[in-house]
């Protein structure tokens, strides 16, 4: 059994075996990953406290000579103090729900819990949630951020880099937006972790967000496939009788021309069925690893 410090001998919990304490921690810490979403609660608060106007009936005079008229009175906005209080409560809920408050109990508990938390990825709803959580946990007597070794940030390119996009989303535009967001996340991490990149102790990458297996199975079944023979017959019936194709020079050209014609026929059938070609993914996942 590990030797306890004098101030730890009075704690019955610390006198338990280390295996028992780790088993107790497993009930307070998530199993697969930690989800951080600071935007959903704000949207729900805006729905409960709308900033739109309400209409009330106000009489112009007490004698009743003129009929009452309706005037628009704006709904009072939430105060700054109430917003800050709601943010503190939300951060405290995240801390206690994921077992982060155990980092503040004592040094021995902090070391034991940190070894468990460092193996869990922390997924953030958006880059703004990543920045706000790091800023709040590192301020004052917060639990700190050094326990996070693997972060995942979801980037929605469909909403645009600075708002709705002014042109259709293309693959190059999506990759540009994700690359800029990744660089911003790296600079945010440098503020709290230091320049780990100078020592080669951090790694970043991005990829399309993997589909949720539960959501994928709940989707409607895919449309029926068409065989090559039926596709060729249907295409030949739609061609004019005097249609001619250029004769390729070699076998490679024959294969390339066949692929091009097949792709054109597939796109034409998809347009007839109302199926739009699949564009670039809108949601991407930025992953970062820190070696601390």
Highest mean predicted confidence (pLDDT) among 186-195, 224-233, 251-260: 186-195
Residue whose C-alpha is closest to residue 281's, from 214, 211, 221: 211
The mean pLDDT value for 228-242 works out to: 53
Task: Report the pLDDT value the prediction gives residue 29, as an integer from 0 to 100.
Answer: 92
What is the pLDDT at residue 214?
54
Q: What is the pLDDT of residue 106?
A: 86
Q: Rg of the chain's alpha carbons, rounded to an integer?
A: 30
Q: Read out DSSP for the chain?
A: -PPPPGGGTT-TGGGS-HHHHHHHHTTTS-SS-EEE-SHHHHHHHHHHS---EEEEEE-S-SS--SPPEEEEEEPPPPPHHHHHHHHHHHHHHHHHHTTGGGGGT-HHHHHHHHHHHTTS-EEESSHHHHHHHHHHHTSTT---STT--EEEEEEEGGG-SSSS-SS---HHHHHHHHHHHHHHHHHHHHHHH--GGGGT-EEEEEEEPPPPHHHHHHSPPPPPP--HHHHHHHHHHHS-TT---PPPSSHHHHHHHHHHHHHHHHHHHHHHTTPPPP---SEEEEEEEE--
List the beta bridge partners of residue 124: 36, 153
Q: Convert the pLDDT of each residue in 114-159 to its tens digit.
A: 999 999 999 999 999 999 999 988 876 678 898 999 999 999 988 6
Nearest Cα neighbor of 189 from 157, 156, 149 is 149
* Least confidently predicted of 14-23, 96-105, 145-154, 263-272: 263-272
Most confident of 52-56, 153-157, 163-167, 271-275: 153-157
pLDDT digit string, tens, across residues 7-19: 667 788 888 888 9
Here the tokens at position 20 are 């028992």
**CA neighbor of 103 nearest in space, from 146, 139, 133:** 146
Cβ neighbours around 150 below 10 Å, total: 16
Q: Report the sign of the C-alpha dihedral through residues 229, 235, 240, 245, in that order.
A: negative
Tell me the per-residue pLDDT of 163-196, one tens digit each, with 9 for 90 and over: 666 667 888 888 999 999 999 999 999 999 999 9
Residue whose pair of structure tokens reads 């600075």 in the numeric block: 162
For residue 58, which of 44, 72, 46 has the smallest C-alpha distance?
A: 72
- Residue showing tokens 């004098």: 6
Contact 99, 117 (CB under 8 A): yes
Mean pLDDT over 270-286 rounds to: 71
Give the C-alpha separation, 107 to 115, whole Å: 13
**What are residue 243's DSSP bridge partners?**
none
| CB-CB neighbours of 206 under 10 Å | 18
Mean pLDDT in the chain? 74
Read out DSSP for 59-71? -S-SS--SPPEEE
pTM over 0.75: no
Residues 1, 75 contacting (CB under 8 angstroms): no
The answer to whether residues 98 and 30 touch, using CB atoms and an 8 Å cutoff, is yes
Q: Residue 277: what pLDDT?
A: 53
């Amino acid at each position: 059994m590990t030797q306890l410090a004098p101030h730890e001998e009075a704690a019955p919990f610390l006198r338990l075996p280390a295996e028992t304490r780790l088993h107790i921690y497993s009930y307070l810490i998530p199993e697969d990953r930690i989800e951080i979403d600071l935007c959903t609660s704000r949207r729900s608060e805006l729905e409960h406290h709308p900033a739109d106007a309400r209409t009330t009936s106000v009489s112009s005079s007490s004698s009743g000579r003129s009929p009452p008229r309706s005037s628009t009175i704006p709904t009072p906005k939430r105060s700054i103090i109430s917003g800050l209080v709601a943010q503190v409560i939300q951060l405290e809920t995240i801390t206690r729900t994921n077992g982060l408050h155990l980092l503040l109990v004592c040094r021995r508990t902090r070391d034991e819990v940190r070894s468990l938390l460092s193996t869990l990825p922390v997924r953030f709803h958006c880059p703004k949630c990543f920045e706000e959580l790091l800023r709040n946990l590192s301020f004052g007597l917060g639990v700190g951020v050094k326990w996070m070794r693997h972060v995942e940030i979801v980037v929605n390119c469909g909403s645009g880099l600075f708002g709705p996009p002014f042109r259709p989303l293309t693959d190059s535009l999506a990759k540009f937006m994700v690359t800029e967001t990744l660089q911003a996340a790296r600079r945010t991490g440098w503020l709290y972790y230091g320049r780990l990149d100078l020592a080669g102790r951090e790694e970043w990458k991005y990829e399309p967000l993997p589909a949720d297996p539960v959501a994928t199975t709940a989707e409607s079944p895919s449309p029926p496939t068409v065989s090559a023979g039926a596709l060729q017959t249907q295409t030949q019936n739609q061609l004019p009788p005097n249609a001619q194709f250029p004769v390729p020079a070699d076998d490679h050209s024959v294969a390339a021309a066949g692929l091009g014609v097949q792709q054109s026929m597939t796109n034409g059938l998809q347009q007839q069925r109302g199926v739009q070609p699949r564009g670039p993914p809108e949601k991407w996942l930025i992953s970062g690893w820190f070696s601390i």
